Amino acid sequence: MADWRGKPVAVHALETIASMIFAELVAVVRPVGQAPVLHRRLERRGYSILVNDRPEDGISGSIIRAVEHVMPMRKCRGILICLADMPDVPQTHYNRICMAAEDIRSVVASTDGFSSSPPAFIGRKHFPELLALRGDQGARALLSHGVQIETMGASLRDIDTPEDLAERRPE
């Protein structure tokens, strides 16, 4: 919720994604008491809000909650995993990922030319693998075997700490 260019870091990603056409917008977040502003903004943008009450499980816990939510939706071809702490990913990059996702077997990851990372599309066929994830590594192993969509590394940097925020501030 730290300020980044006039609004909370997470709001940049949620607004960019909400401006795109998806069957369902899902956000996995901390409980409302810990992030009331974020919950309000997500609700206003039409997101289904899933609470991750076990953040100690790492990113895998959030991915599992999202997959469990969309699995009953038979028309869902997969999920686009986006991180709220990556405020500089442009809509054009999200579009390129979605265009590269051909079917339910697709795995499409972002890369800065060195490593695979979110944002990423993971097709429905891989949901069982996602449900088996544990810890804070997320789907990194699966992403490394998918199609790689390269973008400038600066747009893929995340803001995890106050130091990261300070390093990214314009002079």
Per-residue pLDDT at 169: 64
pLDDT in tens, 40-55: 999 999 999 999 988 8
pLDDT in tens, 12-71: 999 999 999 888 999 999 999 988 999 999 999 999 999 998 888 888 999 999 999 999
CB-CB contact of 115 with 158 (8 Å):
no
Q: Stretch 73-87: mean pLDDT, rounded?
A: 94
From the options 2.40.100.10, 3.40.50.1820, 3.90.550.10, 3.40.630.30, give the CATH code of 3-168: 3.90.550.10
84 closest CA partner among 165, 8, 171, 6: 8
CB-CB contact of 43 with 81 (8 Å):
no
55 closest CA partner among 168, 135, 130: 135
Other beta carbons within 10 Å of 41: 19
The domains of the chain are located at 3-168
Per-residue pLDDT at 58: 85
